[in-house]
Amino acid sequence: MTDEIEHFTVGKDREMDLYLAKYDVLGSMAHITMLESIGLLTKDELQVLLAVLRTIYQEAESGRFVIEEGVEDVHSQVELMLTRQLGDIGKKIHSGRSRNDQVLVDLKLFIRDQLREIAELTEALFHELIDKSNTYKDVLMPGYTHLQVAMPSSFGLWFGAYAESLADDMQYLLAAWRITNRNPLGSAAGYGSSFPLKRQMTTDLLGFDSMDYNVVYAQMGRGKTERNVAFSMASIAGTLSKLAFDACMFNSQNFGFVKLPDECTTGSSIMPHKKNPDVFELTRAKCNKIQALPQTVMLIMNNLPSGYFRDLQIIKEVFLPSFDELKDCLRMAAYIINRMKVNEHILDNPIYDNMFSVEEVNRLASEGMPFRDAYKKVGLDIESGNFTPQKQIHHTHEGSIGNLCNDKIEALMQKTIDEFGFFKVEEAIKALVSD
């Protein structure tokens, strides 16, 4: 039964800790640099410790880092590797911290890197959508309400709408970045330390914007950070899921508005004519799963008071792998949008003629006929089969078919991206791991 209890309590923690290995090393490098400044390590001890930690960091970056059988977690594995090479010096690195603030800083460093990658992939998809919007800005397509043909739209509007949605999603990502990019190191087990720690020093060394100042709040941030980050990921996933649904529908024979790249579709085992949009269907499902992530995290931490509890371990199992899933979806979406082919002759089909009814009502109203009378006249013409659509569209207001405002949308996205300040983090980490 003892083995079963150990298996139950450890769960997937060792597997999840591999996500955090290189970040645990970074946190230790900053921490021991600070320890030397307050006299808990000598300069010589610091240098030999940093040299070995840099080697371990390279192992973790290359995927060669392993947590050995019988070793509890990534923190213990790093300390074991140091002690094997350096003896008692390796045992000194834990002064002034707890595994609680150690895993907190590991998670924040990991999340920060993941958010940067997601931001870059989101930006890449954004530009694919803007490019397609500009390319097909004059190609009309039906717009729908209630899945009924409603009014004229355009591929410029359709692609551009998803681009602007991503620009808004990036605001959520920026908020998640700002909450993440605060240093919890030095909060120890949640109540600080009697050592005269220099928390601003580790904050600067790790490239954080600021620290989580209150040590109790730093521990309360465990779970809260993951929940807020999950909401930002869910926002992007919601945009991708809707885009995937539209594309699957528009790719079907009943619509025939777009053609997805052949390599992103599969055939049927018995129907040779089928081209199933598998990649976007899987994207839709994966993104819907990601949209459930905030609620999963919230329910795990929902009734926990302040302080650390083992419940928080379970968050890692659902949270850490979700980044790779979202990144894969963003890559697939960008690939498909880049290669998607648009049907430029949709409106040759007379079933879409009636979507120009509003244009005719507006034309009559512009000539002086009361709007309600114009509405009634066009409705009667449609019922009697006498409606002849005028397919020349002249929309000029901001955000309409004839004035997409894509330049404004690009400016919104760029402004948000500039606020992340990725360069500051890159410079700090580069300085920390350099000899």
**Is 146 known to be catalytic?**
yes
Overall size of the chain counted in residues: 435
- 55-62: list long-range contacts, CB under 8 Å, 24+ apart: 56/25, 56/81, 56/82, 57/22, 57/25, 57/26, 57/29, 57/433, 60/21, 60/22, 60/25, 61/22
Could you identify the residue written with the tokens 């950070």?
225
Contact yes or no for 142/346 (Cβ under 8 A): yes
Residue 341 is classified by DSSP as E
The residues, ordered by sequence, that sit 6+ positions from 332 with a Cβ below 8 Å of its Cβ are 264, 279, 280, 283
**Using CA atoms, how far apart are residues 316 and 313, in angstroms rounded to an integer?**
6
Antiparallel, parallel or unpaired: β 140-145 and 148-154: antiparallel
- Catalytic site residue from 37, 62, 75, 146: 146
The residues, ordered by sequence, that sit 6+ positions from 151 with a Cβ below 8 Å of its Cβ are 143, 355, 358
Q: What is the DSSP secondary-structure string of 371-406?
A: HHHHHHHHHHHHHHT-----------STTBTTB--H
The residues, ordered by sequence, that sit 6+ positions from 74 with a Cβ below 8 Å of its Cβ are 14, 17, 18, 20, 21, 24, 67, 106
- Catalytic site residue from 76, 98, 187, 268: 268
By annotation, the residues acting in catalysis are 146, 268
